[in-house]
C-alpha cells in the first residue's frame, strides 16, 4: 500500500515532474545546437500544460510517464553525435554511449571492451582515448578540447613516452612479446587518464575520485589507514614482482609448475591490489540499484500526481465557466486520489476488473460521474471479494445508477452498498422526477428488466420504488453463502 504522504511538502514533487519531460539536451537522440521544437516520436506528447486537453476518458491516459520510465531502456540506433552516457556509467560512460549510438546492448559493449583490453591491451587504451575525445551527454565540447591548452598536462602525458619506450625495449631484450604489446595501450591509457583528470569538470572529477577512492583512499586521513594502504601496496608489489619475475625468467623447457605458480602470484597480486576496490564497486552497484529503485518510485509517484491532480487542475482552470463540470472533475479526482491514498488502489487500475465489491461500487460511481456529469455519493459498509452473483449485482447497480444519472434530472445520486453475513444489498437512490411504475412505457420495461431479471437469475431480489416527483430508489440484493465473510 502506498503510504499517505502526510506532512510531505507537495511542492517537492514538482522537480521530478518537470524532469519527466525530457530536456532538449538530455540525450543523443537530439542534434546539438538550437533547441528543436518537436520532441520526435521518442519523447512524450506535449504534456498536460494549459494547451493540452486530456483525452475524454479521464486523466490517466496520458502516456507521458511511460516514456520517462522507459526512456533509458529504449536504446535505439540514433544518428547523431557520439556522446558518453551519463546514466549507463561505470567509468567514463563510453560503453553506454557506444551502446546507444550503435544500438548494441551495453553489456555486450563492455564485454567486448574488456576482451579487447585483455587481448593485447588495445581496449583499455582505446577506452581512455574515447573518454578524452567524446563529449559528455548534453555537452558540446570534449575533454580533449580543453586538454589541448593544458600544457603541463600535455608535458606530463608526453613524459610517459620514454617510460613506454623503455618498457618496450626491456620487453624486447627479455624476449617477452606481450610486454611490448601491452605497453603501448597501457601508457596511452595512462596518459589519457592524466589529461582527463586534469581537464574534466568538477562533477566528473568527483565521480573519478569516488571510483578511485577505495584504491587509494584519498579521503581517509587516519594513520592506520595509511599503514594498511602501505602494507597492502607493498605486499601487492612484492607478489607482483615475484610473479612477473617467475613468468619472465622461467624458461619454457623448465617445469610446468613455475609458470603456473607465477600466474597464480600475479592473480594474487591483482586481488590484493584491487580486491577492496572490486568489493566496493560491487557494494556501490547494489546501493546504486537501490537508489535507482527509490528514484523510480519517486518518479512514478510524481508521474501519477502529474497525470492526475495536475491534469485535473489544468482542466478545472479551463472549465471555470462550467461549474457543473468543475464539480464533476474535482469529485472524480478526489475519489481517485482517496482510493490511492487510503485503499492503495493505483489510480486508473481500480477499473480493470474491480477486485472487490466496494471497489466495484466505486468504479460504477466514477463511470457515472464521468459520463453523465452527476455527483454520486457512495457509502459502503463492509466488503467482500467478487463472484458471479456479485458481478451480476454490480451490473444491475450500474444500470440503475446510469438510469438515475440519465433520466432523473437530479444532480446527486446516492449509492449505498452493504455486505452482511448472509446478504449483499445495493441501494441506488435519486431525488429526481421519478415515474409511475404502472404506466411504464413498453420501451422502458426493458431497462427495468435488465436490472431486475439480472438479479433474479442469481436468486436475488430487486425492488423499484418510485412515483412522479418523488424520485426513484432501486433496491437490489443477493444472498451470500454463509461459509466466510
Partner 1 sequence: MSDPDEPVEPGGERRPRVFLVDDHHLFRAGVRAELGDAVRVVGEADEVAAAVELIRERQPDVVLLDVHLPDGGGQAVIEAVRTSHPDIRFLALSVSDAPEDVIAVIRAGARGYVTKAISGIELIDAVRRVAEGDAVFSPRLAGFVLDAYAGMPDVQRPTSVDPELDQLSSREREVLRLIARGYTYKEIARELSISTKTVESHVSAVLRKLQLSTRHQLTYWATERRLV
Give contact residues for partner 1 (rule: CB under 8 A): 1, 331, 334, 338, 342, 375, 377, 379-382, 412, 414, 416, 418, 420-421, 427, 429, 431, 473, 485
Write the DSSP string, 110-152: HHHHHHHHHTTTHHHHHHHHHHHHSPBTT-SS-HHHHHTT-HH
- At its nearest, how many Å lie between partner 1 and the CB of residue 446? 26
Q: Residue 24 or 409: which CB sits closer to partner 1?
A: 409
Rg (CA), the chain: 35
In whole angstroms, the minimum distance from the beta carbon of 344 to partner 1 comes to: 8
* Residues, the chain: 485
CB of 264 to partner 1, least distance (A): 58
Q: Which three cell numbers stand for residue 112?
A: 567486448
Q: What is the DSSP string of 363-406?
A: HHHHHHHHHH--EEEEEEE---B--HHHHHHHHHHHHHHHHIII
Is the Cβ of residue 87 or residue 343 nearer to partner 1 in the bound state? 343
Minimum Å gap between C-beta 382 and partner 1 is: 6
HSE toward the beta carbon, residue 58, CA cutoff 13 A:
24
- To partner 1, the closest distance from the beta carbon of 429 in angstroms equals 5
Minimum CB distance to partner 1 smaller for 275 or for 411: 411
29 vs 336, which CB is nearer to partner 1? 336
Q: What is the dihedral of CA 396, 400, 405, 408, to 10 degrees?
A: 170
* Shortest distance in whole angstroms from residue 374 CB to partner 1: 13
Report residue 321 CA to chain centroid gap.
38
Query: Which residue, 99 or 380, is less far from partner 1 as judged by CB?
Result: 380
d(CA 57, CA 428): 24
- How far is residue 407's CA from residue 435's CA, in Å, rounded to a whole number? 10
Rounded least distance, CB 463 to partner 1, Å: 13
Distance CA(427)–CA(413), nearest Å, equals 10
Alpha carbons 452 and 455: distance in angstroms, whole number: 5
Instruction: Give least dist CB 381 to partner 1, A.
Output: 4
Instruction: Identify which of residues 254 and 334 has a Cβ nearer to partner 1 in the complex.
Output: 334
Characterise 58 by phi-psi region: left (phi > 0), alpha (psi -120 to 50), beta (else): left
Strands 423-430, 472-479: pairing kind: antiparallel
Give 186 or 427: the residue with its C-beta nearer to partner 1: 427
Q: Shortest gap between Cβ of 36 and partner 1 (angstroms)?
A: 40
Nearer to partner 1 among residue 308 and residue 375 (C-beta): 375
**Residue 443 CB, nearest approach to partner 1 (Å):** 28
Nearer to partner 1, 57 or 338 (CB): 338
Q: Which three cell numbers stand for residue 219?
A: 579521503
The set of residues, in sequence order, having a beta carbon less than 8 Å from that of 406 and lying 6+ positions away, is: 372
Which candidate, 438, 431, 427, places its Cα nearest to that of 470?
A: 431
Provide the terminal-to-terminal Cα distance of the chain, rounded to the nearest Å.
22
Cβ closest to partner 1, residue 230 vs residue 437: 437
Amino acid at each position: 500500500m502506498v503510504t499517505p504522504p502526510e506532512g510531505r511538502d507537495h511542492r517537492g514533487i514538482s522537480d521530478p515532474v518537470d524532469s519527466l519531460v525530457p530536456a532538449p539536451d538530455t540525450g543523443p537522440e537530439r542534434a546539438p545546437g538550437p533547441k528543436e521544437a518537436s520532441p520526435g516520436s521518442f519523447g512524450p506528447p506535449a504534456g498536460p500544460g494549459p494547451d493540452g486537453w486530456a483525452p475524454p476518458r479521464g486523466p490517466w491516459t496520458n502516456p507521458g510517464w511511460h516514456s520517462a520510465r522507459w526512456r533509458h531502456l529504449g536504446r535505439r540506433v540514433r544518428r547523431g553525435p557520439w556522446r558518453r552516457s551519463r546514466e549507463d556509467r561505470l567509468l567514463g560512460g563510453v560503453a553506454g554511449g557506444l551502446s546507444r549510438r550503435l544500438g548494441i546492448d551495453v553489456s555486450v559493449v563492455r564485454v567486448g571492451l574488456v576482451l579487447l583490453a585483455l587481448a593485447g591491451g588495445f581496449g583499455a587504451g582505446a577506452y581512455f582515448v574515447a573518454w578524452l575525445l567524446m563529449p559528455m551527454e548534453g555537452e558540446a565540447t570534449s575533454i580533449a578540447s580543453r586538454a589541448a591548452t593544458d600544457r603541463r598536462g600535455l608535458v606530463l602525458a608526453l613524459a610517459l613516452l620514454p617510460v613506454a619506450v623503455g618498457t618496450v625495449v626491456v620487453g624486447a631484450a627479455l624476449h617477452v612479446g606481450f610486454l611490448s604489446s601491452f605497453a603501448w595501450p597501457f601508457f596511452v591509457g595512462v596518459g589519457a587518464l592524466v589529461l582527463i583528470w586534469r581537464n574534466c569538470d568538477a562533477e566528473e572529477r568527483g565521480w573519478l575520485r569516488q571510483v578511485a577512492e577505495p584504491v587509494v583512499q584519498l579521503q581517509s586521513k587516519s594513520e592506520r589507514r595509511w599503514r594498511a594502504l602501505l602494507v597492502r601496496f607493498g605486499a601487492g608489489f612484492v607478489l607482483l614482482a615475484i610473479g612477473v619475475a617467475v613468468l619472465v625468467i622461467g624458461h619454457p623447457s623448465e617445469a610446468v609448475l613455475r609458470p603456473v605458480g607465477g600466474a597464480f602470484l600475479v592473480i594474487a597480486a591483482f586481488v590484493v591490489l584491487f580486491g577492496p576496490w572490486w568489493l566496493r564497486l560491487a557494494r556501490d552497484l547494489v546501493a546504486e540499484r537501490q537508489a535507482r529503485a527509490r528514484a523510480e518510485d519517486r518518479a512514478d509517484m510524481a508521474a501519477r500526481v502529474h497525470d492526475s491532480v495536475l491534469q485535473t487542475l489544468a482542466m478545472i482552470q479551463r472549465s471555470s465557466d462550467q461549474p457543473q463540470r468543475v464539480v464533476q472533475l474535482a469529485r472524480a479526482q478526489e475519489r481517485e486520489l482517496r482510493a490511492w491514498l487510503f485503499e492503495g488502489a493505483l489510480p486508473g487500475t481500480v477499473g480493470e476488473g474491480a477486485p472487490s465489491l466496494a471497489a466495484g461500487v466505486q468504479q460504477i460511481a466514477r463511470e457515472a460521474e464521468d459520463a453523465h456529469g452527476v455527483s454520486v455519493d457512495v457509502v459502503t459498509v463492509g466488503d467482500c471479494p467478487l463472484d458471479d452473483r456479485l458481478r451480476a449485482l454490480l451490473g444491475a447497480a450500474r444500470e440503475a445508477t446510469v438510469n438515475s444519472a440519465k433520466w432523473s434530472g437530479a444532480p446527486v445520486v446516492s449509492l449505498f452498498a452493504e455486505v452482511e453475513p448472509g446478504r449483499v444489498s445495493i441501494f441506488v437512490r435519486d431525488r429526481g422526477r421519478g415515474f409511475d411504475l404502472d404506466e411504464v412505457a413498453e420501451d422502458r420495461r426493458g431497462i427495468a428488466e435488465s436490472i431486475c431479471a439480472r438479479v433474479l437469475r442469481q436468486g436475488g431480489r430487486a425492488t423499484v420504488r418510485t412515483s412522479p416527483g418523488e424520485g426513484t430508489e432501486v433496491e437490489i440484493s443477493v444472498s451470500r453463502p454463509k461459509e466466510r465473510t
